[in-house]
């Protein structure tokens, strides 16, 4: 008998019993590696899908432009050549808000004007075999003229296709592919949406059979679409640079849209700035006309007065007297001019309640002039914002309140200024009267001439002043700078931004890996079948004898002397492990019962081949078919036995040897089931089955009993006391894990003596299963840690 060193043996088994963490991770990965074909197929499909996607996708190109929004607070945006004109006080000092300008640039009204200008309400597409590609009108082989009014065109929503069928004719179809009409190039064709004239640009460009699709959309829909695709962002928080970006399938189209958007934006800004200057120009011209008439009238009055009174030049006679009064007269003239200007402004405010006010007239005080400039700036800001907003907009409401307040402030300032000037004028007239008393000796006519000349001088001074301001205002109109300076014109790279090849293929590859991984992971989560040792050992404490790999042959008897297949080697290993499990009881025959939880787990197949494996050791083996409800042994071995176990149990005249037959192919003695009885449980407990077991132990080395499934009937439990070893068959990929509680319960309650589990129908090629198997070469090795623990316990007892 072999001797073992207990300490060394136990330590060796302990080392085997503790799998390392790296082995556990490897086993987990091997479960996925087993399905490598899934991963390869998924990756190939994903890469092919990516290729098709890139081949027929519409590529998007990114175009951007950079503009500088002029900050006019410090005269920003004016050219250095205009700095000499700053003393004319004709430039605004308002600060531009970037947020406001960004809102104006993305306004629907502005974009609609751009679309109208470029004609991008109509899109053109060339249909290929699979995809549809957009082209510019410039690249079209036809000139398409739709003879409808602009108002109707801007609301039109239709799609039609033109297909040349010859160099002179074409077919017009609708969006559903239905033929509308057939037309000749250059001739008017009547359609539901208007009259259409199609002319070829060149006969060389016409491709017979090529379908050109024309899509006309409402202009507001097109404008909103482009607005949604345009992004505007400042270059940095402290910068006045704005970067406008647009993505479009046609790069040149996006460039034209951005350039025209900036152009129209600057035109609107310049128009708003020039509005003040034009209103001021109108005011000055009207006043010049009135003053000119008044000055002419006074000049004629002087002429008539001197003619009537025969007066000549009296300056030399009264020069000494009037010299002292000259400065006082100049003061009176200045005061009267300012009073008259205030009257003009007051009258203008009454007739033009909501319009712009003349500014930079120079004769008002600084506060009134500044309020006038602020008032005009607010009027322009309100007009700009009102184009895209309603009166309920809080910004407009705030602007209206400020405008009303400034208007009242200007009005009150004019009243106060006039009162102050009137008082100053009265005081000057009083001083003049004192001087006149000193020259009372002068002739009355001379005094009247002096009064007339004074009025003439007042009107002449005002006339010259208005002419000067008209020139200054003309300069303001000529030098108005745009609000946005283009730093970089619209430019885009020839490389598309979407889809990106460098990202599509890696993402497709990653998707090809992830999809099968997720599917396998979910299938493992939802899988409730037994697959491996680990599945069994997690739920039961019964020793595991080993595994029987899947048999790929239709033969039921697998093992033979010369057979070295995986399945045959597995049965040899099972035979060895069973000998360790059987009790040492001398030369008495060993009874091995084979059962399972449910039908279909292969217990009969196991029983036949286990018995055959034992025969190969030159042992006498009796195989008993005790599953008398659903017998399979006769079917598997293709035998026709007239009498079997049930006959013996029913007929007391029969002996055990009468119902046993020898099977030549396997060299087994077989006691088949026989007929199907109506009362199987009663037959198995009538005492006759004890005689069968006694006969087997007396005449054979091994008795292998194929019993009924445990979870179906109680037959097996009725016979369990005869067993030296119970082999409990669990079929992999077949038995529900939840049913493992049955063998566990049987083991805990000791209902099946000396019980051990055998896993049947395992896939040894599946690397993720158990610890890996390979039969057919070398000595078979015990891989079950549960069986090693059981053997270790045996050695400890010894």
pLDDT at 128: 72
Confidence at residue 299, expressed as pLDDT on a 0 to 100 scale: 77
Distance CA 46, CA 327 (A): 99
Backbone angles phi, psi at 494, to 5 degrees: -75, -10
DSSP string, 55-68: HHS--BEEEEEEEE
Prediction pTM value? 0.57
Q: Which of 187, 196, 202, 136 is nearest to 161 (CA)?
A: 196
Q: Report how far residue 736's alpha carbon sits from residue 524's, in angstroms, rounded to the nearest whole number.
A: 13
> DSSP 3-state assignment of 317?
helix
Is residue 641 within 8 A of residue 670, CB to CB? The reply is yes
Do strands 661-663 and 668-671 pair parallel, antiparallel, or not at all (unpaired)?
Answer: antiparallel
- Tokens representing 469? 């301001």
Kindly calculate the radius of gyration of the chain based on its CA atoms and give it in whole angstroms. Answer: 56
Helix (H) or strand (E) holding 244: strand 241-248
Q: Are 236 and 66 in contact (CB under 8 A)?
A: no
Structure tokens at 618: 């030159």
Which residues have C-beta within 8 Å of that of residue 586, sequence separation ≥ 6? none
- The pLDDT of residue 300: 79
pLDDT along the chain (798 residues), means of 10: 35 42 71 86 93 85 90 45 43 60 90 90 82 80 82 85 86 82 84 83 78 89 92 87 91 91 87 76 83 81 72 57 71 83 81 74 70 81 73 77 82 84 85 70 63 79 82 72 82 85 90 91 85 85 90 81 84 90 81 93 92 92 92 86 87 91 90 88 89 92 94 88 93 90 90 92 61 40 44 46
C-alpha 606, offset from chain centre = 58
Cis geometry, peptide bond prior to residue 499 (ω within 30 degrees of 0): yes
User: How many C-beta neighbours within 10 Å does residue 193 have?
Assistant: 15
Q: Which two tokens stand for residue 699?
A: 């005449």
Predicted local confidence at residue 364, as pLDDT: 63
In angstroms, the Cα distances linking 357 to 96, 277, 279, 332, 350 are 21, 10, 8, 27, 11
């Amino acid at each position: 008998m072999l001797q073992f060193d207990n300490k060394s043996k136990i330590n060796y088994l302990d080392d085997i019993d503790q799998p390392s963490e790296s082995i556990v991770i490897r086993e987990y990965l091997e479960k996925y590696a087993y399905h490598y074909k899934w991963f390869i197929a998924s990756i190939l499909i994903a890469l092919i899908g990516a290729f098709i996607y890139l081949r027929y996708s519409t590529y998007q190109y990114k175009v951007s432009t950079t503009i500088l929004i002029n900050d006019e607070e410090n005269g920003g945006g004016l050219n250095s050549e205009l700095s000499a004109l700053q003393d004319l006080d004709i430039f605004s000092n308002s600060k531009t808000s970037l947020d406001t300008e960004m809102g104006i640039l993305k306004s629907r009204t502005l974009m609609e004007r751009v679309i109208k200008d470029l004609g991008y309400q109509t899109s053109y597409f060339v249909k290929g075999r699979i995809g549809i590609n957009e082209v510019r009108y410039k690249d079209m082989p036809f000139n398409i003229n739709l003879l409808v009014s602009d108002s109707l065109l801007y609301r039109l929503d239709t799609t039609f296709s033109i297909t040349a069928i010859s160099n002179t004719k074409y077919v017009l179809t609708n969006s559903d592919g239905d033929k509308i009409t057939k037309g000749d190039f250059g001739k008017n064709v009547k359609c539901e949406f208007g009259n259409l004239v199609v002319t070829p640009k060149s006969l060389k460009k016409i491709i017979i059979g090529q379908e050109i699709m024309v899509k006309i959309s409402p202009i507001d829909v097109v404008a909103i679409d482009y607005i949604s695709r345009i992004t505007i962002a400042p270059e940095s928080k402290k910068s006045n640079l704005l970067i406008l970006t647009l993505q479009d399938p046609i790069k040149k189209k996006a460039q034209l849209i951005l350039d025209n958007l900036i152009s129209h934006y600057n035109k609107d800004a310049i128009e708003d700035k020039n509005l003040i200057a034009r209103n001021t120009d109108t005011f000055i011209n009207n006043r010049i006309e009135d003053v000119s008439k008044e000055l002419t009238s006074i000049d004629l009055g002087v002429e008539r007065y001197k003619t009537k009174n025969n007066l000549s030049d009296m300056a030399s006679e009264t020069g000494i007297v009037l010299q002292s009064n000259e400065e006082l007269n100049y003061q009176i003239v200045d005061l009267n001019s300012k009073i008259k200007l205030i009257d003009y402004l007051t009258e203008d405010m009454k007739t033009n309640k909501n319009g712009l006010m003349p500014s930079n007239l120079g004769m008002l005080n600084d506060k009134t002039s500044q309020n006038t400039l602020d008032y005009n700036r607010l009027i322009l800001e309100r007009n700009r914002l009102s184009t895209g907003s309603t009166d309920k907009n809080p910004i407009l409401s705030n602007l209206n309140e400020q405008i009303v307040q400034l208007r009242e402030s200007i009005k009150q300032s004019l009243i106060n200024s006039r009162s102050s000037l009137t008082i100053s004028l009265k005081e000057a007239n009083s001083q003049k009267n004192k001087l006149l008393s000193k020259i009372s000796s002068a002739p009355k006519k001379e005094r009247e001439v002096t009064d007339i000349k004074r009025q003439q001088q007042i009107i002449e001074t005002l006339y010259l002043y208005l002419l000067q301001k008209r020139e200054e205002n003309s300069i303001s109109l000529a030098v108005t700078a745009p609000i946005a300076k283009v730093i970089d014109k619209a430019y885009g790279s020839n490389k598309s931004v979407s889809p990106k090849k460098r990202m599509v293929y890696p993402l497709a590859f990653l998707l090809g890996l992830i999809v099968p991984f997720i599917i396998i992971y979910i299938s493992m989560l939802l899988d409730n079948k037994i697959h491996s040792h680990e599945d069994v050992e997690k739920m039961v404490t019964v020793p595991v004898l080993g595994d029987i790999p899947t048999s790929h042959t239709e033969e039921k008897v697998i093992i033979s002397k010369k057979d070295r297949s995986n399945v045959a080697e597995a049965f040899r290993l099972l035979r060895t492990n069973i000998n360790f499990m059987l009790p040492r009881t001398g030369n008495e025959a060993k009874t091995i019962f084979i059962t399972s939880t449910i039908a279909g787990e292969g217990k009969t197949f196991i029983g036949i081949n286990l018995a055959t494996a034992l025969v190969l050791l030159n042992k006498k083996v009796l195989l008993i078919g005790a599953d008398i409800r659903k017998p399979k042994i006769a079917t598997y071995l293709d035998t026709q036995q007239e009498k079997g176990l049930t006959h013996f149990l029913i007929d007391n005249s029969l002996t055990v040897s009468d119902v046993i037959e020898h099977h030549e192919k396997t060299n087994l003695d077989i006691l088949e089931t026989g007929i199907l009885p109506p009362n199987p449980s009663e037959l198995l407990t009538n005492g006759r089955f004890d005689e069968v077991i006694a006969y087997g132990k007396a005449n054979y080395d091994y008795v292998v009993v194929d019993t009924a499934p445990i979870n179906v009937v109680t037959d097996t439990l009725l016979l369990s006391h005869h067993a030296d070893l119970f082999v409990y068959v669990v079929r992999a990929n077949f038995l529900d894990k939840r049913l493992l509680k049955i063998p566990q319960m049987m083991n805990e309650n000791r209902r099946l003596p000396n019980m051990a589990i055998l896993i049947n129908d395992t896939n040894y090629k599946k690397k993720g299963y158990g610890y890996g198997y390979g039969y057919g070469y070398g000595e078979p090795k015990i891989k079950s840690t549960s069986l090693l623990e059981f053997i270790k316990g045996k050695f400890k007892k010894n």
